[in-house]
């Protein structure tokens, strides 16, 4: 625990100002809105930002049907689970720790309200999240979707249960990490981002709140609602979205941007792990934006030459000269900062994590915010209304959302 001496108190005040600043910024920026994305967001307003759709596609009206995929899973239902605790919540619903009755397996079940999604015209983002989740099963550092189903009122994502805590939670507690620990997390995150890029997916919302630790201390990246699919190596998009402290300059300028926005965000997260604050943070919102656009990167204290060099490379304001602009993940892997990392061992989890969350088992919720875990579970979550009997537009607005894995997927 960070000791509340003079410096500690000032640091905690600064963290509180960051929270307040994010809340203010969230009122003006088009960023994450269906932010039920990490299992235990530390503060609710971080999950309640309004998110803008891609300019290239107009969001459907609430009466339009959205086909979220060809698969079906009509047999799954809420009563298959014992819902034990609320472990996160956001604009569209909640994430709950649940135990499946038939085999006692623990899952994180994300429950979303259809009417809220329709009202905010966020169907396309739910589609993007589902599609990306289906591709995550083959990577060790991305949260996986086991299956999904729906009732006439709600959507249910059955996800990996991860209870080692958010990176944000651990950063708040420890202020900053030593370089080897920061390098380990950055390498696992980079591996996950590189995999998404190989599938032509840009992540666009990398931040400590979306990086979870599993029970052993390995990274698990979550929240795919802002992902952009179909992005070839040279393609660009122009949607103004993300989280304020981590926005790349080209996004702030509303210029076309490519997958290098993710490497900018990796640099910002690495900087925050090493120094305790985002690289261009200011208490004044407009000043922070000006810093991102114009202020040179300031690297304080005694960091290795390799650490300074990779931060300068990742946080280069010119996306064409940014580290990763030429050969993407390969450039990141080959940087001297990561020379202690054996990437094959990393991928196969043969490297012992530098920190063990020391959870006693699935019921150990020490790394979740009590604000969530102490909340009563609504009986509506376990209710299974008749899907066919509903006449609401919500009953058929998510055609094909339900998903059950094939034998090849298992």
Average pLDDT over residues 359-364: 90
345 labelled catalytic = no
Q: Which residue has the higher pLDDT, 146 or 397?
A: 146
- End-to-end Cα spacing for the chain: 41
Name the token pair of 209. Answer: 């709140």
- Whether residue 335 has pLDDT greater than 60: yes
Look at residue 71 and tell me whether its pLDDT is greater than 50: no
Residue 46, pLDDT score: 31
pLDDT band at 233 (very low <50, low <70, confident <90, very high): confident
With H, G, I as helix, E, B as strand and everything else as coil, classify residue 226.
coil
User: What is the rounded average pLDDT of the residues 31-39?
Assistant: 33
Quote the pLDDT of residue 73: 64
pLDDT mean over 233-241: 89
Of 127-136, 364-373, 388-397, the range with the highest mean pLDDT is: 364-373
Residue 127 has pLDDT above 80, yes or no: no
Determine what percent of the chain is predicted with pLDDT higher than 90: 51
Q: pLDDT tens across 374-394, in order?
A: 998 988 887 766 555 443 455
Cβ atoms 278, 245 nearer than 8 A: yes
CATH topology identical between 31-163+363-396 and 167-347? no
| Class level of CATH domain 31-163+363-396 | alpha beta
Confirm or deny that 119 is annotated as ligand binding: yes
Please report the pLDDT score of residue 102 as a whole number. 93
Domain boundaries defined on the chain: 31-163+363-396, 167-347
Q: How confident is the model at residue 316 (pLDDT cuts 50, 70, 90)?
A: very high
Band of residue 129 on the pLDDT scale cut at 50, 70, 90:
confident
* Catalytic, out of 48, 160, 205, 328: 205
Contacts (Cβ under 8 Å, ≥6 apart) of 355 = 170, 181, 213, 217
- The per-residue pLDDT for range 167-209, each reduced to its tens digit, is 998 998 899 999 999 999 999 999 999 999 999 999 999 999 8
> Looking at residue 400, what is its pLDDT?
66
Predicted confidence at residue 308, as pLDDT, reads: 96
pLDDT tier at 23, thresholds 50, 70, 90: very low
What confidence score (pLDDT) does residue 162 get?
A: 94
Please choose, from the candidates 123, 147, 129, the residue with its C-alpha nearest in 3D space to the C-alpha of residue 66: 123
The answer to whether residue 410 scores a pLDDT higher than 70 is no
Neighbours of 272 (CB within 10 A): 23
pLDDT band at 152 (very low <50, low <70, confident <90, very high): confident
Task: Give the integer Cα–Cα distance in Å for 172 and 12.
Answer: 8
Quick one: average pLDDT of 65-71? 48
Q: State pTM to two decimals.
A: 0.80
Over range 245-257, report the average pLDDT.
96
Mean pLDDT value of segment 106-119: 91
Q: Which CATH class is domain 167-347?
A: mainly alpha
pLDDT of 137 higher than 90: no
Q: Which residues contact 116 (CB under 8 A, 6 or more apart)?
A: 91, 92, 93
- Is residue 219 predicted with pLDDT exceeding 50? yes
Average pLDDT value over all residues in the chain: 80
Cα dihedral 158, 162, 168, 171, rounded to 10, equals 180
């Amino acid at each position: 625990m960070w000791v509340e001496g003079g410096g500690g108190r000032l640091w905690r005040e600064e963290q509180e100002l960051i929270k307040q600043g994010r809340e203010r910024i969230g009122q003006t920026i088009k960023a994450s809105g269906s932010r039920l994305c990490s299992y235990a967001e530390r503060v609710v307003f971080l999950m309640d930002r309004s998110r803008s759709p891609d300019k290239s596609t107009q969001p459907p009206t609430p009466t339009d049907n959205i086909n979220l995929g060809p698969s079906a899973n009509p047999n799954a239902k809420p009563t298959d689970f014992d819902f034990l605790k609320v472990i996160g919540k956001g604009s569209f619903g909640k994430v709950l720790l649940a135990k499946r009755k038939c085999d006692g397996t623990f899952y994180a079940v994300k429950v979303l309200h259809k009417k809220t999604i329709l009202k905010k015209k966020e169907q396309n983002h739910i589609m993007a999240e589902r599609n990306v989740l289906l591709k995550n099963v083959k990577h060790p550092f991305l949260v996986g979707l086991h299956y999904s189903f729906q009732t006439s009122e709600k959507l249910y994502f059955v996800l990996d249960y991860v209870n080692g805590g958010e990176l944000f939670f651990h950063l708040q507690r420890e202020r900053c990490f030593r370089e080897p620990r920061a390098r380990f997390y950055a390498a696992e995150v980079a591996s996950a981002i590189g995999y998404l890029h190989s599938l032509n997916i840009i992540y666009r919302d990398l931040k400590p709140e979306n990086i979870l630790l599993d029970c052993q201390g390995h990274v698990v990246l979550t929240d795919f609602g802002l992902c952009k699919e179909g992005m070839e190596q040279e393609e660009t998009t122009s949607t103004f979205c993300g989280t304020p402290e981590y926005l790349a300059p080209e996004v702030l300028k509303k210029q076309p941007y490519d997958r290098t926005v993710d490497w900018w965000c990796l640099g910002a997260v690495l900087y925050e792990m090493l120094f305790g604050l985002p690289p261009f943070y200011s208490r004044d919102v407009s000043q922070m934006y000006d810093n991102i656009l114009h202020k040179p990167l300031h690297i304080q204290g005694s960091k290795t030459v390799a650490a300074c060099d990779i931060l300068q490379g990742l946080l280069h304001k010119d996306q064409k000269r940014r580290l990763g602009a030429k050969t993407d993940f390969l450039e990141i892997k080959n940087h001297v900062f990561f020379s202690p990392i054996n990437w094959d061992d990393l991928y196969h989890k043969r490297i012992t994590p530098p920190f063990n969350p020391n959870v006693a088992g699935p019921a150990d919720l020490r790394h979740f915010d009590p604000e969530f875990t102490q909340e009563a579970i609504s009986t509506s979550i376990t209710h299974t209304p008749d899907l066919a009997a509903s006449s609401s537009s919500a009953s058929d607005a998510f055609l094909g959302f339900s998903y059950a894995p094939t034998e090849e997927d298992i």
